[in-house]
Amino acid sequence: MYDFDKIIDRSDTNAYKLDLREQNFGTDDLIPLWVADMDFAAPPEVQKAIQNRAAHHIYGYTIRKEEFSSAIVNWCQYKHNWTIQSNWVEYSPGVVPALVFSVLAFSNEGDGVIINTPVYPPFYSVIVNNNRKLLKNSLVDKDGRYEIDFELLEEQASLPDTKIYLLCSPHNPVGRVWTKEELLKIHEICAKHNVLVLADEIHSDLALFGNAHVPFASINKEAAMNCISFMAPSKTFNIAGFSTSYVVAANNELLKQYQATQNRLQLHMGHLFSGVALTSAYNGGKDWLIELTSYLENNILFIERFLKEHLSDVTFFRPEATYLIWLNFKQWNMSQKELKRFMISDAKVGLNDGTSFGIEGEGYLRLNVASPLSVIKKALEQIVEARR
């Protein structure tokens, strides 16, 4: 019913993915499969709601009414079987800004924050740029499926200055959906050592291949009281340009402290279209998301088959969530510099540099599969051709 095969020209829209090619790769002449947004039109319900509101020509200060939080409450129930209350929810201008507010609210300069690397690059900057101590908990690669080093986590959590564990769930870029058992282990360790869990669940609606995302705060009551969850419809419905995300905290003390920091920085207003985009996506986008999910799965299965046939020395773990795949080029025995040069200059395909997620990313590039299949196919063919 929805046409994900359609190629939509994104030029002249100031799209990061296109217009920063020159800055990022040194050339515009490549297929951009990097930044994590999609080359698909947002759900028609969202387009319509935005157009309707835009047709009223006064764009003054705007509030978010009850319908904003009730759309979130209903969505969490529908999508994750997670029962929350509307007074647990606070708007935020973005997940990354919300992580910054939380780091400021719940730790002091010099305190430790744990992250599982390789990981989404702002996880580093959120910590380091706010003068907190970065505690790297490298994920353990078990034949492409990454796992958490719980022994190291316990050691790091037990350090007296460790205040926060910043969890990426599902994980970008390694594509893991953490199981309830894994989340329970995280909870036990963090609760024992009084470490607050910040759960970035922005990719939670994009669990694939029958995997089910488990919200960290849903595993038990104690975990819910020791956690803030960060969510958004932005990845799910391709509406990142609207700055529309939110935090959920069952623990009112945590929520109040979060709000105090966001308000202190005067960033609680948001903008007019964020509420329109979120409510229309959550209320009207269910069918669209079901079709999107199977389109993404199909793209991933295609890539899997294609690589087996034409580039069997490039491998990846089939992601349990996200439209991002973590391609392993280690068998090519190239330096990261050579690998990047090959991809940019020879293959003319724009992928994210694995090392931008951490040193563990040496030998990897991240591919965004949220494009029409014909574009993905062309990019893969260019890689094969360049490799001949």
Ligand X SMILES: Cc1ncc(COP(=O)(O)O)c(C=O)c1O
Residues in contact with ligand X by CB under 6 A are 36, 94-96, 120, 168, 172, 200, 202, 232, 234, 240, 245
Residues 6 or more apart in contact with residue 28 via CB below 8 angstroms: 18, 21, 22
307/353 with CB nearer ligand X: 353
Nearest distance from C-beta of residue 333 to ligand X, angstroms: 30
Nearest distance from C-beta of residue 180 to ligand X, angstroms: 20
Nearest distance from C-beta of residue 322 to ligand X, angstroms: 8
43/118 with CB nearer ligand X: 118
Of the candidates 68, 86, 99, the one whose C-alpha atom is nearest the C-alpha of residue 202 is 99
Whether the Cβ atoms of residue 324 and residue 369 lie closer than 8 Å to each other = yes
Give the CB-nearest residue to ligand X. 94
247/311 with CB nearer ligand X: 247
111/200 with CB nearer ligand X: 200
Nearest distance from C-beta of residue 277 to ligand X, angstroms: 12
Nearest distance from C-beta of residue 200 to ligand X, angstroms: 5
Contacts of 119-122 with C-beta under 8 Å, sequence gap 24+, read 119/168, 119/171, 119/172, 119/173, 119/357, 119/358, 120/168, 120/172, 120/173, 120/200, 120/357, 121/356, 121/357, 122/96
The count of other CB atoms within 10 Å of the CB of residue 47 is 12
Backbone phi and psi for residue 117, each to the nearest 5 degrees, phi listed first: -100, 155
120/329 with CB nearer ligand X: 120
101/106 with CB nearer ligand X: 101
Nearest distance from C-beta of residue 201 to ligand X, angstroms: 9
Alpha-carbon separation of residue 117 from 92, 146, 302, 362 (angstroms): 25, 10, 28, 12
